[in-house]
Amino acid sequence: MTIQWFPGHMAKAKREVTEKLKLIDIVFELVDARIPMSSRNPLIDEIVANKPRIMLLNKADMADPDVTKQWIDFFAAQQIEAIAIDSQSGTGVKQIVTVAKEKLRPKFEKMMAKGIKRPRAMRALIVGIPNVGKSTLINRLAGKHIAKTGDTPGVTKAQQWIKVGKELELLDTPGILWPKFEDEEVGFKLATTGAIKDTILNLQDVAVYALRFLAAHYPDRLKERYALSDIPEDIVVLFDEIGKRRGCLAAGGVVDYDKVAELVLRDIRTEKLGRLSFDRL
């Protein structure tokens, strides 16, 4: 995934989503359950404005379940209905239609009151930052492989609707929005979870962030994974310890810090340290 989000591209993405919003009744805002705040688009409230919206905490299978529950309560307190889902296996996905129906009930009741006997299907648009799982969810909802995984922004084609049962129609192309770039910590979280490419930030910096986070929030899992009796305060010593234990060595037997960084990030992204949540309340 190589999307360069220059101001011009952001404006275009916003325009494209705004156009699509005219066609739909409800927005499914997809975020990464491991980073439900950091993976939101910074202008989402402004862009979506008055459309009903459901927040979908995707990849919940990779997130810390207790923390996910806290986030769902947090959003509920802000009148935002959030559902934890796993688009890959389908867990939670059925709930989307139920919640959408509930949200749109007043609108459809109004239509019926005006004499429309059979309400049409609800029309929905999935929006989210790259790699959050938009195509995977579209495929899951469609029940077959329609949307290709990996998307090309800026390619215009006719909008098509994907039928999800009788009650829901989904625009076949999701709305792709940019992540938050301004905050350095957000950038590290996006990189740690694989939402942005490793080449955007310095790999060792990302691994330093990730290791410090693990030391603070998941010390036992860090110790267990790398067979550490304690976690050294000094991050360089921690890199050395992990590198020596896991054979991340350069010529001459010195620890190769890039290799350590790659190993740690790969371990995190492949759940070798279990289910992790990087945004905390």
Annotated binding site for GTP: which residue ranges?
58-61, 131-136, 175
Q: Which is nearer to ligand GDP, 63 or 207 (CB)?
A: 63
Taking the complex as a whole, the smallest distance from the CB of residue 57 to ligand GDP amounts, in Å, to 9
Taking the complex as a whole, the smallest distance from the CB of residue 230 to ligand GDP amounts, in Å, to 31
Q: Which is nearer to ligand GDP, 84 or 248 (CB)?
A: 84
Q: Which amino acid is at 89?
A: S
> Could you tell me where the DSSP H helices lie in the chain?
7-21, 44-48, 65-77, 94-113, 134-142, 184-192, 203-217, 219-225, 235-246, 257-269
Q: Which is nearer to ligand GDP, 84 or 261 (CB)?
A: 84
Taking the complex as a whole, the smallest distance from the CB of residue 236 to ligand GDP amounts, in Å, to 32
Q: Which is nearer to ligand GDP, 151 or 167 (CB)?
A: 151
**b/e burial code for range 139-169 (CB count within 10 A of at least 16 → b):** bbbeeeeebeeebebeeeeeeeebebeeebb
Taking the complex as a whole, the smallest distance from the CB of residue 11 to ligand GDP amounts, in Å, to 20
The contacts of residue 27 (CB under 8 Å, 6+ apart) are 21, 48, 51, 52, 53, 54, 124, 125, 126, 127
Q: Which residues are annotated as a binding site?
A: 58-61, 131-136, 175
Do residues 267 and 207 touch, judged by C-beta distance below 8 A?
Answer: no
Q: Which is nearer to ligand GDP, 72 or 132 (CB)?
A: 132
Taking the complex as a whole, the smallest distance from the CB of residue 19 to ligand GDP amounts, in Å, to 19
Q: Tokens 């192309």 sit at which residue?
A: 173
Q: Which is nearer to ligand GDP, 91 or 202 (CB)?
A: 91
Do residues 255 and 243 touch, judged by C-beta distance below 8 A?
Answer: yes
Q: Which amino acid is at 175?
A: G
Start-to-end Cα distance in the chain: 30
Token digits for 221? 């899992």
| Residues 80, 40: Cα–Cα separation, whole Å | 13
Report the residue number whose CB is nearest to ligand GDP: 133
| Residues 177, 276: Cα–Cα separation, whole Å | 24
Contacting residues toward ligand GDP, per CB under 6 A: 58-59, 61-62, 86-88, 128, 130-136, 149-151
Taking the complex as a whole, the smallest distance from the CB of residue 212 to ligand GDP amounts, in Å, to 24
Token digits for 22? 């005219």
